[in-house]
Amino acid sequence: MAQQADISYAINRKWIGSVQEVLIEEKSDREGFAFLGRCRRQAPEVDGITFIRNHNAEIGRIIKCKITAADHYDLYGEIL
C-alpha cells in the first residue's frame, strides 16, 4: 500500500499549478479551507477530494480552481 501511496502522490503533484473545474459539494470542516469539491477525475467514494480555501463559493456550482498543493490522495486550491 505504501508503494501505491507514493505513486498517487507523484500523480497528484503533477496537477499543482493547473486550473481545474471543480464542483463545490459541501462546506469543509478542515481548518483553513472553506469548501470541498471534486474535479472531473475525482470519483465519489474511490478518489480524493479538492479542498478550496476561498469563502466565496456556492454549493452545487462549478468553479475554476487553481491547484496549489497536493498530498497522497487530495488536492488543494483557490478559486480564480
Question: Over the stretch 39-59, which tens digit does the pLDDT of each residue have?
Answer: 998 988 888 999 999 888 899
pLDDT, position 25: 96
pLDDT, position 54: 83
Low-confidence spans in the chain with pLDDT less than 50: none
Residues whose CB falls within 8 Å of the CB of residue 30, separated by 6 or more in sequence, listed in order: 36, 51
How far apart (Å, rounded) are the C-alpha atoms in residues 78 and 43? 20
CATH number at residue 40: 2.40.50.140
pLDDT, position 27: 95
How far apart (Å, rounded) are the C-alpha atoms in residues 9 and 44? 18
pLDDT, position 68: 98
pLDDT, position 23: 97
The C-alpha cell of 34 is what?
472553506
pTM of the model: 0.89
The whole domain housing 51 covers 2-79
CB 61 within 8 A of CB 54: no
CB 33 within 8 A of CB 52: yes
**How many domains is the chain built from?**
1
pLDDT, position 6: 86
pLDDT, position 47: 85
